[in-house]
């Protein structure tokens, strides 16, 4: 696809979650980048959809930004079609497990069908006409509610445990969150739309243990 068209398509998909979309370099994943994404994300997709994944279309693009970030949305009217946007730095520099952690969390939002982007803007708009939903009003279109973040962590813990058949991958997520808490360089944009990682570790470790017990 033509470069300008490609950017226009991805910016339309993610317009409300990408503040710098107009100037961002969005491009197709190179073969090596594609391989890393598939290695990290394939097992999660399989954990969610099993043999149905043959029917899932995962559109992937890379954004050339020197930060670590991942965005994911479920495409409407197709139960497992996804659009996935990853920063080049996240693919090139994160360990496979850290990349899988980020993908698992974002996939957790999709898995739990949290509204994002345009759908989220509509949700906020409709909350304005209702009453007693001011907490929704305060939610930026870029951010999920704290409750949704917990749900996404739980879904990620479930998918990672199914994918790994042990809770090693799940507990690895807690390690990644601790690493982020220790060195926030390059995580600014990601942190701006997520709860502090150090506050998520305790609950996550408990969830990993619960998921391990559910395995058999
Ligand atoms: Zn989240």
Tens digits of residue pLDDT in 40-97: 999 999 999 999 888 999 999 999 888 999 989 888 778 789 999 999 999 999 999 9
Cβ–Cβ under 8 Å, residues 70 and 76: no
**pLDDT greater at residue 112 or residue 120:** 112
**Band of pLDDT at residue 162, cut at 50, 70 and 90:** very high
Contacts with 173 (C-beta within 8 Å, 6 or more apart), sequence order: 101, 104, 105, 153, 156, 157, 160, 204, 208
**145 CA → ligand 1 middle, Å:** 9
**23 CA → ligand 1 middle, Å:** 24
Give residue 77's pLDDT: 77
**Band of pLDDT at residue 137, cut at 50, 70 and 90:** very low
**135 CA → ligand 1 middle, Å:** 17
d(CA 71, CA 159): 18
Q: How does DSSP classify residue 56?
A: -
Cβ–Cβ under 8 Å, residues 82 and 76: no
Residue 181 has pLDDT above 80, yes or no: yes
**114 CA → ligand 1 middle, Å:** 10
**2 CA → ligand 1 middle, Å:** 31
Tell me which residues have their CB within 5 A of the ion that is ligand 1: 149, 152
Q: What predicted TM-score, i.e. pTM, was given to this entire model?
A: 0.85
Angle at 110 between CA 213 and CA 152, to 5 degrees: 45
**156 CA → ligand 1 middle, Å:** 10
Contacts with 89 (C-beta within 8 Å, 6 or more apart), sequence order: 65, 66, 67, 68, 186
**pLDDT greater at residue 118 or residue 31:** 31
**3-state DSSP assignment of residue 209:** helix
């Amino acid at each position: 696809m033509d470069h300008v068209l490609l950017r226009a398509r991805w910016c339309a998909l993610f317009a409300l979650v990408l503040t710098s979309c107009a100037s961002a370099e969005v491009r197709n994943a190179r073969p090596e980048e594609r391989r890393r994404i598939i290695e990290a994300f394939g097992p999660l997709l399989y954990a969610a959809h099993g043999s149905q994944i043959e029917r899932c279309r995962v559109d992937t693009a890379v954004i050339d930004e020197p930060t670590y970030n991942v965005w994911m949305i479920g495409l409407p009217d197709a139960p497992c079609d996804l659009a996935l946007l990853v920063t080049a730095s996240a693919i090139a520099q994160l360990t496979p497990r850290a990349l899988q952690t980020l993908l698992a969390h974002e996939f957790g939002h999709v898995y739990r069908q949290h509204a994002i982007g345009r759908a989220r803007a509509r949700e906020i708009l409709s909350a304005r006409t209702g009453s007693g939903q001011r907490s929704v009003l305060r939610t930026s279109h870029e951010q999920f509610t704290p409750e949704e973040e917990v749900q996404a962590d739980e879904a990620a813990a479930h998918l990672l445990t199914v994918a790994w058949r042990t809770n090693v991958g799940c507990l690895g997520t807690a390690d990644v969150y601790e690493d982020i808490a220790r060195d926030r360089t390059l995580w600014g944009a990601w942190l701006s739309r997520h709860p502090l990682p150090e506050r998520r570790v305790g609950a996550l470790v408990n969830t990993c243990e619960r998921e391990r017990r559910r395995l058999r």
